[in-house]
Amino acid sequence: MKLFIKLSGEDQLRYLFCWLELIIIFSSSLKTIYSCEKKMPVTALLTKGEGSEEMTIHELNGHVDHLEMDVPDAVAKATTPTPTTLGKSLRSLKINEVSAQDDDEESLPATGSQSTSCIHRHMATEFTYDMSHASRGKVLIVNNVNFAPATNMSKRAGSEKDADELADALRLLGFGTERYKDLTCSELERVFQNVSAQDHSDCDCFMFCIMTHGSNSVIYCTDGVLYLEDLMQELKGDRCKTLAGKPKVFFIQACRGELLDNGVELPVDDQGTDEVDSGGTLSITPVIPAEADFLVAYSSPPGYFSWRNVSLGAWFIQALVKVLKDHGPSLEINQLLTRVNHVVAYEYSSNSSMPDFDNKKQMPYYTSTLTKELYFHSNNH
């Protein structure tokens, strides 16, 4: 009031005009809020789109997050005066511009860059897996080296080096490791049944690595074969509820057939003899994960041999170890596996005394039903 009395008659009229315009804009914003509430009643948030099931707390919170971002933005646009009218008048009086954002600075972003940052934080929660649990999780490493005569499978020389180095690389990423060697079919099934029965509530994820012989969708134990899909069933949401919604990653070093990849010849050093992790000619449909949050990375595509150097280890495992140690804490899982693909494709070529097996290539292959991005950032696990 004191400021108003000190102003000249012309400035007093301009001041009154400003307040009248503010009242009109405020009235318009109230209509906008009322319209938004009519279009989206709160009760609409309590049911799913087409069904009648009650929403989980997580899903309801997801809707609330969207409302907090969308509705205030609409109100801010309706209540912010345009600079060509009220702003000019206020500046002529040397009074700072006023907007709806000034009254709620903590809840509404004041600038475009801050608004973008807020959205990015929300996206990170929605599209990346939560890797902030008390434990990174458990990784099972199975190394089958010796096989019963009835399987007609040879000894997998050089595989211990792979198991040791893979365990070291995964421990650097915060995983607790459990190692097994030369498991029978029943023993491996029992291991997965035990994992399924455990409580993984405080874990980020689960990982399984096996080095063995194989063919298409089966893997060899010391006394016979198992379908990989049967093992995966133990970890799906209906059997292991504490792993539901969490990433389950499988690394499979095993042959998936008897095809050879001729590729493009590349010069390599003489570093020992390469063998193949092959297992007969069983004709079985390749496994494609049918449930969410699984990633299965194979050493080769369906139908192809996988290579293992008896001195240096398996190509796929050695490439995986290198990439995990160099980039594991920084890159997303798809980026990591793309790097693995590159290393195997460009840096390896077979060196065999048998001409038909010499200078051959290998291409790793993975399938994924992951629903979010997966990072192994350091989290003091």
**Total domains in the fold of the chain:** 2
Q: Are residues 184 and 307 both part of a single domain? A: yes
Specify if 373 maps to a domain.
Answer: no
Q: Are residues 361 and 226 in the same domain?
A: yes
- Write out the catalytic residue numbers: 213, 255
Instruction: Look at residue 229 and tell me whether its pLDDT is greater than 60.
Output: yes
CB 217 within 8 A of CB 365: no
Q: Do 222 and 106 belong together in one domain? A: no
Q: What is the pLDDT of residues 145-200, one digit of tens each?
A: 999 999 999 999 989 999 999 999 999 999 999 999 999 999 999 999 999 999 99
The secondary structure of the chain, three-state, reads CHHHHHCCHHHHHHHHHHHHHHHHHHHHHHHHHHHHHHHCCHHHHHECCCCCCECCHHHHHHHHHHHHHHHHHHHHHHHCCCHHHHHHHHHHCCCCCCCHHHHHCCCCCCCHHHHHHHHHHHHHHHHECCCCCCEEEEEEEEECCCCCHHHCCCCCCCHHHHHHHHHHHHHHCCCEEEEEECCCHHHHHHHHHHHHHCCCCCEEEEEEEEECCEECCEEEECCEEEEHHHHHHCCCCCCCHHHCCCCEEEEEECCCEEECECCCCCCCCCCCCEEECCCCCCCCCCCCCCCCCEEEEECCCCEECCEEECCCEEHHHHHHHHHHHHHCCCCEHHHHHHHHHHHHHHHCCCCCCCHHHCCCECCCEEEECCCCECECCCCCC
So what's the pLDDT on residue 225? 97
- Closest by CA to 206, choosing from 302, 293, 105, is 293
Residue whose C-alpha is closest to residue 347's, from 259, 271, 250: 271
Cα–Cα dist 143/150, whole Å: 19
**End position of a domain, from candidates 81, 109, 127:** 127
Same domain, 288 and 331: yes
pTM value is 0.63
CA distance 164 to 145: 14
**Cα–Cα distance list, 304 to 16, 146, 182, 361 (Å):** 82, 22, 24, 10
Between these two residues, 333 and 40, which has the higher pLDDT value? 333
Instruction: Mark whether 117 and 172 lie in a shared domain.
Output: no
Instruction: Give the model confidence (pLDDT) of 348-369 as tens digits.
Output: 999 888 999 999 999 999 999 9
Q: How far is CA 226 from CA 187, 296, 307, in A?
A: 11, 16, 21
Per residue in 36-59, pLDDT tens? Answer: 444 444 333 333 333 333 333 333
- Residues 243 and 355 occupy one common structural domain: yes
How many angstroms separate the CA atoms of 147 and 240, rounded?
31
Q: Are residues 228 and 311 in the same domain?
A: yes
Look at residue 253 and tell me if it is in a domain: yes
- Position 282 scores a pLDDT of 42
Residue 72: domain span: 2-127
Question: What average pLDDT does this structure show over 112-127?
Answer: 44
Compare 272 and 253 and report the one with higher pLDDT: 253
User: Which of 92, 127, 162 is the endpoint of a domain?
Assistant: 127
Residues 264 and 343 in one domain: yes
Query: Under a CB-based contact definition with an 8 Å cutoff, are residues 314 and 162 in contact?
Result: yes
Angle (nearest 5°) at CA 156 between 151 and 160: 135
Residue 235 pLDDT > 80: yes
Domain termination site, one of 127, 154, 186 = 127
Per-residue pLDDT tens digits for 55-101: 333 332 333 222 222 222 323 233 333 344 444 443 443 433 333 33
Q: Are residues 182 and 94 in the same domain?
A: no
Shared-domain flag, residues 182 and 291: yes
Compute the average pLDDT of residues 232-238. Answer: 92
